[in-house]
Amino acid sequence: MHSGQTLWNADATSDGFKGFVVPRNSDGTWVDIDAKKNWESWKNYFYEGSSWTYSYFVPHQFRILVDLCGGKVQYTLRLEHALSHELIEYFNEPSFLAIPSFNYADRPDRAAFLDAQTNA
């Protein structure tokens, strides 16, 4: 297990998708949270984002993330869902790499299309 995966709870679910970055208690057990809750500024667990947001904030580990999400097809479906349901706010810093990460799922077409839409 890579050190960054210590926060990846493979059993956490949201909107029918499985596996999210989730905080742990001091004894190592998972904190039971709503993966869609935005914790706002200076609150517990996440800063200006949710588990959905921070589950895509892995700047140097997207290949691992694609595998953790179930492979390229599932990753694409999941990211499309997150973007279309506003679970990832692309204008917020932790989300800047979400759209370009389509490249790691062999979908540069989606990355280019969505990037053009958000920068129009």
Contacts of 67 (CB under 8 A, 6+ apart): none
Contact 15/85 with Cβ under 8 angstroms?
Answer: yes
Contact 119/112 with Cβ under 8 angstroms?
Answer: no
Helix H or strand E segment including 9: strand 8-14
> pTM of the full predicted structure?
0.88
Per-residue pLDDT tens digits for 29-38: 999 999 999 8
> Which two structure tokens, joined as six digits, stand for 95?
């989300």
> Which two structure tokens, joined as six digits, stand for 103?
């490249």
Mean pLDDT, all residues of the chain: 90
- 119 pLDDT higher than 80: no
Domain ranges of the chain: 35-118
> Which two structure tokens, joined as six digits, stand for 76?
């694409």
